[in-house]
Structure 1
């Protein structure tokens, strides 16, 4: 099974995202996933879907995602609005029509997807309350033998980027206590940080996905600023290889497609292989 993760798309209403060209970048990400020889089984977008939580932004997001040739699952980040997200994607049955949170479980593939809503309206940081953690523990207890990935916007760990760490996740220690009781959790997939970061967390692996557009500059201590940089956007590809080998995660840059120089064709090394036309090191 192959899960694609994109994050922090920050779509504005048409004509209002010209500075960072977030709509153009998301269209490239969709084309990138559609072109893959092995297409993902599903796509999960880990929050900050739009920039201001407005209905028009979600309608624009819907148009941009429409060409995807695989199912897409959405969850909110701190820039999102639950009510407007539900309204714009009313046909997405996994999004609860009522209730304070947009938590859900997707059970249709070999790997379970459990989504957690960390949004605190009006705040840049996130939170998991006792009720959500109890819900998560119950969902994990339902299928202890099923490999599972958890998706959420705010990562449950510090990144070393001081300004962002001030807007972290409340409840991460309690989340860790739940995860330690459930070793079937293969990954915790997060966004928010606009950078690819991986670390061990509570007996599993937690990672953050880059933005489909702008990235956060890697300013480590003692720097205390927050800056954007137009480093190449990317998606994450989480490949489930089976019970014995588990999950492996790849970073897939979203850029102009480059031709392949085939060195091995699956049966043996290709003798006299030469770079194809258009294969350049720059």
Structure 2
């Protein structure tokens, strides 16, 4: 099973640029075309948050139309730039989304089980999951301890070293870590938020973050570093599941590059 991951789309209303600089809607279209042109089309796309930039109904209308053009089934979770209720209304036709409360869900229709977690705190940019959400996750994990499972979580549950991103990290991930450690079948935790690809061993599994389809947040590790980003490199992730080899993840850069050449 080939699973693609898109993240941090930051869709804007028609004619409006992201941060007044770049056309995030066009960039999402290019990311979708990138997936459609692959030699093996993904079976499923996971969208790990920040589908839109300001959470407005107009933005969700554009995002939904663009994602529909993908013609590949997809599952999405909200990010800190999303608005939970507007997200729920926009994707009301997606039967996996709960009708009230945080947007936690489990989809068990594929070779790999997909658990979506809503780590958003309305009105804030950091991430957290309350006690009820953690109990829901524990119950879902314990209901099937053998099927390979992927967990979607917008906020990475660790310090990444970029000071202006760590300010908005998942706060106190220890209770979430304890729940995930109870399960031996979580193959990977897929995150967004940082607009970069990162990898960390955590909670007896692996956490992997996905680049944005729009901009890359700059890798600056000085404690006094000021927020900055660049247009590119943009990318997505591909997660290849095979029952014999497990999960293998690749970063796939979006854009036109020189080649192909007759060597590998």
TM range (shorter): over 0.9
Match of 1:195 in 2: 196
Could you list the per-position Cα deviations for residues 45-74 of structure 1 after superposition, in whole angstroms to 9, with x for gaps in the alignment?
A: 100110110000000101111211210111
Give the TM-score normalised by structure 2.
0.95
Give 3-state SS (helix, strand or coil) of 2:4's partner: strand
| Alignment check: 8 A CA contact 1:45 1:75 kept | yes
1:180 Cα offset (Å):
1.2
Could you list the per-position Cα deviations for residues 228-267 of structure 1 after superposition, in whole angstroms to 9, with x for gaps in the alignment?
A: 111210000011121x421110000011266534558xxx
| Alignment check: 8 A CA contact 1:128 1:170 kept | no
Give 3-state SS (helix, strand or coil) of 1:169's partner: coil
RMSD: 1.4
Could you list the runs of 4 or more consecutive aligned residues of structure 1 that deviate by over 6 angstroms after TM superposition? Answer: none
Match of 1:139 in 2: 140
Could you list the per-position Cα deviations for residues 126-167 of structure 1 after superposition, in whole angstroms to 9, with x for gaps in the alignment?
A: 111111111111111111000001001101011000111111
C-alpha separation between the residues in 1 aligned to 2:259 and 2:73?
28
C-alpha separation between the residues in 2 aligned to 1:66 and 1:175?
33
Structure 1 segment 196-235 matched on structure 2, within 5 A: 196-235=197-236
Give 3-state SS (helix, strand or coil) of 2:194's partner: coil
Q: Which runs of 5+ in 2 are unaligned?
A: none
Q: Which runs of 5+ in 1 are unaligned?
A: 265-282
Given the alignment, which residue of 34, 39, 42 partners 1:40?
42
C-alpha separation between the residues in 2 aligned to 1:257 and 1:36?
15
More displaced 10-residue stretch of structure 1: 81-90 or 71-80: 81-90
1:191 Cα offset (Å):
0.5
1:112 Cα offset (Å):
0.5
Structure 1 segment 1-20 matched on structure 2, within 5 A: 1-17=1-17, 19-20=21-22
